[in-house]
Amino acid sequence: MHLPSIQAPCVHQNPDDCQGITDQYTCLGFEAMGCRFELLIDPGSSGLGHCDSLGIAEEMRALVQDWHQRLSIFEAGSIASQINRTMAGAEFHLDDDMYRLCTLCEQIRCKTNGAFNIAAGTLMHAHGFRSSQADHDASLDGLDLNHAFTLDSQNQSITKTDDRVMLDFGAIAKGFALDLIRIELEEHGVYNAFIHGGTSSILALGKDHRGYPWPTRVGADYTINLPSLAVGVSENLSQSVRHSEQRFGHVMNPLKNRPAMNSITQVVCIHPSAAAADAYSTACCASPALIAQLYSDPCTLIAFDSSPNPVIHDPLGVVLASSKTPS
Amino acid sequence: MTDLDRRTFLTHTAGSVAAMAIVPDLKALGTFKLNKPLKVAVAGAGRQGRKIMGELSKLADVSVSAVCDVDERRLNAGLRRSSGAQGYASVKELLASGQVDAIAIATPTHTHREVAIECIKAGVHVYLECPLAHTREDCVAILEATRSAQGVIAAGLQGRSNPVYTLARGFFRSDSVRELISMRAQNHHKTTWITPSSDPVRKAALNWKLDPARANGLAGEWGTHQFDVFHWYTGKYPARVLGNGSVRFYQDDRTVHDTISCTLVFEDGATLAYDATLANSFGSKHEVFLGSNAAIKLAWSHGWLFKESDAPTQGWEVYANRQQFHNDEGITLIAGATKLAEQGKLKEGVGLPNPAEYYALENWISAIASDHAPACSIAEAARATVVGIAANDAIVSGNAIDIDLSGL
């Protein structure tokens, strides 16, 4: 089985390799959203001093941590947890930022024919990825996740249609935060930067210190050159549970109310929007039929399965074989 | 500790899990009943102000109806977090609208005096972030203004409303710690303290914490909150402080120390050793009471009791949740433990579900609803702030400073 991994410029197995990176860039690493974020800012190209660029990096850290507090289902006080505790039929009012995110999620749900759905959190709970045995045994009979909740633009609210519905923003949260970071960095005059969250959500801005698009390796054989693009990676079996001798990955198929069961092991999506890249990669993992449908979108897709050659659709022209990697 | 405290505690702790009934029940929090929905404004839409908006939105019958900030970018960011709220560039305009019942003030420390007095005079309920002010004179002025206040005026020294801290104080004031030997606290957080902006004027306005004329360094901004925990527990204030500090790490043009340490000395000889740094995060933020029977460590969302091996065992301890820290075993202080123990969910209660701001704001709103005093008064905050100012003076000057709390 071919299970490739992302090798971002700031992710190094050998600490000695970091030296060049820390000489050139202001670097900040931190934990949030269940993973390690790493941020590189090229201060020279923005005319910033080291402490100022570090201050900007810390603002970005605060932004990610703020959204972690708002979206994490593991934080009892988060907005996501509050919505999940709200009874079906009861309106839950959202602030502008949160309403915008929920609207974006609904747009992507429609675009992916329901393969991406924040209500897939219901399935994560039911299949033992999130909680206790009691939830694991919960019946999903008659539950239609395409109508799991309604958004009311007038009252700016969300209403669950069924008490069993549990929202989970895990498949889009990191990408959404990276898109906000892009806006913030540009407002601070930073146009060359690289950020990743857990190596599965990546945002590249501008070029690296050599003037090249940011090179990022996908598995052993492919390098993608990122000129101000985002990458989302979804890998089905990176987390799994066993039921009745069968192993299930953590990607859920909301169209069938069960874990995704197909030959796809990993999908890499490269898109101008980090939120879309995150969501599309998950949706394609859940429903491989979607890959061909997304060919009309401005995104590059690499889908790995057990065969040696992945499916590559590269309208953005960013995928290089390893032999073509710039030195 | 008084005999009454000890008797009350022992009654509660007599050999059963009911010992934890002294714990404030988390579920009981937030059960206040307001006569009508409360319209709250937030003044200052920086990071802390936006956090306050988020916590207020969790409270029933409370809405953030207005946001005020002189900085347009921050005002817009605040409005995105408070759907339907009106935006104002000044507190004067906000108060003139007559559309608010209460106001939470999270503006820079040096602006508290002007903003708070204006709000108090307008007769609205006020929650004022701490430190109270950056000078003793400003503290006195705010305190004076509260004497004729019509609304409930609460100060944001958040240890006093924190359920874990309330629980631990019950242990401290009982026989669990016995003789207080010494105290220490730290706040280690790796951060530049820089708020970036490409506009030099805006940058100067936002970076008030790095201006010694507008703020009191780490001892004032951070220490005040932690010093108050010791004041609240012991019922005493330090008489003298000595300290030192330097810029150890951030080689920009700052003059405000990035690393400090100080010792606060109490009349009875007890000492509180405090250190803070912007250059390292080890151990984060916590307070420790060392007693002859046990130590208590408090870390805002968590708390532990570390017993001496010769300290008597109490019945409830068999039910307690424990955590190992190298050679020491801590009994986890869990708010709402009785109910959780009954449900077999004691471990799920380790750590508070909400940040400290939530409990402070909940306490303030509850005080408004029930007409009782808030957990932290302006007088208590004024005294803690003056201790913080004195500590900063000692650190900056290198001299021992006598702490004068007269008139506060």
Taking an 8 Å cut-off on Cβ atoms, the answer to whether A58 and B250 are in contact is: no
Q: Report residue A281's pLDDT band, with 50, 70 and 90 as the boundaries.
A: very high
Supply the mean pLDDT for chain A.
86
CB A151 within 8 A of CB A103: yes
Kindly list the residues from chain B whose CB atom is less than 8 angstroms away from the CB atom of residue A189.
198
For residue A136, what are its two tokens?
A: 């694991």
Number of inter-chain CB pairs under 8 A, A vs B: 59
What is the reported pLDDT for A240?
Answer: 63
Q: If you average pLDDT over residues A236-242, what whole number do you get?
A: 67
Residue B262's alpha-carbon distances to A3, A259, B246, in angstroms, are 54, 57, 12
Element (H, E) at B188: strand B180-188
What is the reported pLDDT for B12?
Answer: 39
Kindly list the residues from chain A whose CB atom is less than 8 angstroms away from the CB atom of residue B198.
187-189
What is the reported pLDDT for B19?
Answer: 35
CB A65 within 8 A of CB A30: yes
Q: Which domains, and CATH codes, for chain B?
A: 3-26+161-352+384-402 (3.30.360.10), 27-159 (3.40.50.720)
Residue B195 is nearest to which of A55, A77, A99, comparing CB atoms? A55
Q: How far is CA B197 from the centre of its chain?
A: 28
Distance CA(A249)–CA(B11), nearest Å, equals: 53
Taking an 8 Å cut-off on Cβ atoms, the answer to whether B195 and A94 are in contact is: no
Kindly list the residues from chain B whose CB atom is less than 8 angstroms away from the CB atom of residue A52.
194, 196, 252
Sequence-distant (≥ 6) Cβ neighbours of residue A261 within 8 angstroms: A248, A253
Nearest to A259 by CA among A132, A106, A140: A140
Q: What angle is formed at CA A324 by the lines to CA A201 and CA A25, rounded to 5 degrees? A: 50
Residue B233's alpha-carbon distances to A58, B164, B174, B275, B291, in angstroms, are 34, 13, 11, 20, 13
CB B274 within 8 A of CB B263: yes
Q: If you average pLDDT over residues B63-82, what whole number do you get?
A: 96
Taking an 8 Å cut-off on Cβ atoms, the answer to whether A62 and B47 are in contact is: yes
What is the reported pLDDT for A28?
Answer: 93
> A121-144, pLDDT tens digit by residue?
999 888 877 665 545 556 888 889
The answer to whether residue A66 neighbours chain B at the CB level (below 8 Å) is yes
Compare all CA atoms of chain A with the CA of B193 and give the residue at the minimum distance: A55
Residue B83 is nearest to which of A52, A58, A94, comparing CB atoms? A94
Q: What phi and psi values does residue A140 have, to the nearest 5 degrees?
A: -110, 15
Q: How far is CA B123 from the centre of its chain?
A: 25
Q: Report residue A3's pLDDT band, with 50, 70 and 90 as the boundaries.
A: very low
* A154: number of Cβ within 10 Å: 5
CB B152 within 8 A of CB B367: yes
What is the reported pLDDT for B11?
Answer: 38
Distance CA(B391)–CA(B240), nearest Å, equals: 9
DSSP one-letter code for B158: G
The answer to whether residue A156 neighbours chain B at the CB level (below 8 Å) is yes
> Could you give the 3-state DSSP secondary structure of residue B276?
strand
What is the reported pLDDT for B15?
Answer: 32
Task: Label residue B267 exposed, middle or buried (CB < 10 Å: 0-12, 13-18, 19+).
Answer: exposed
DSSP one-letter code for B81: T
CB A197 within 8 A of CB A64: yes
Taking an 8 Å cut-off on Cβ atoms, the answer to whether A66 and B81 are in contact is: no
> B138-156, pLDDT tens digit by residue?
999 999 999 999 999 999 9
**Which residues share a beta bridge with A304?**
A266
Calculate how close chain B gets to A202, using CA atoms only, in Å. 23
Compare all CA atoms of chain A with the CA of B82 and give the residue at the minimum distance: A95
> A193-217, pLDDT tens digit by residue?
999 999 999 999 999 888 989 988 8
Record the pTM: 0.88
Kindly list the residues from chain B whose CB atom is less than 8 angstroms away from the CB atom of residue A96.
79-81, 83
**Which residues share a beta bridge with A247?**
A242
> Cis omega (within 30 of 0) on the bond before B238?
no
Nearest to B345 by CA among B27, B2, B117, B87: B27
Q: Which domains, and CATH codes, for chain A?
A: 79-160 (1.10.3980.10)
Q: Which long-range contacts (CB under 8 A, 24 or more apart) does A70-76 make?
A: A70/A98, A70/B54, A71/A33, A71/A169, A71/A173, A72/A33, A72/A34, A73/A121, A73/A130, A73/A166, A73/A167, A73/A168, A73/A169, A73/A170, A74/A34, A75/B353, A76/B353, A76/B354
Calculate how close chain A gets to B198, using CA atoms only, in Å. 6
pLDDT of residue A15 exceeding 60, the answer is no
Distance CA(B357)–CA(B79), nearest Å, equals: 19
Q: What phi and psi values does residue B147 have, to the nearest 5 degrees?
A: -65, -25
Distance CA(A327)–CA(A162), nearest Å, equals: 55
The answer to whether residue A52 neighbours chain B at the CB level (below 8 Å) is yes
Distance CA(B106)–CA(B127), nearest Å, equals: 9
Residue A77 is nearest to which of B58, B192, B197, comparing CB atoms? B58
Percentage of chain A with pLDDT > 90?
A: 55
Taking an 8 Å cut-off on Cβ atoms, the answer to whether A156 and B83 are in contact is: yes
Taking an 8 Å cut-off on Cβ atoms, the answer to whether B252 and A62 are in contact is: no
What is the reported pLDDT for A141?
Answer: 84
Q: What is the DSSP string of B280-309?
A: --TT-EEEEEEESSEEEEE-SS-EEEEE-T
Q: If you average pLDDT over residues A274-287, what whole number do you get?
A: 95
What is the reported pLDDT for A125?
Answer: 84
> A145-199, pLDDT tens digit by residue?
999 999 999 999 999 999 999 999 999 999 999 999 999 999 999 999 999 999 9
Residues of B with CB under 8 A from a CB of A: 47, 50, 53-54, 57-58, 79-84, 191-192, 194-198, 250-252, 353-355, 358
Report helix, strand and coil shares of chain B as percent, to nearest 5.
40, 20, 40
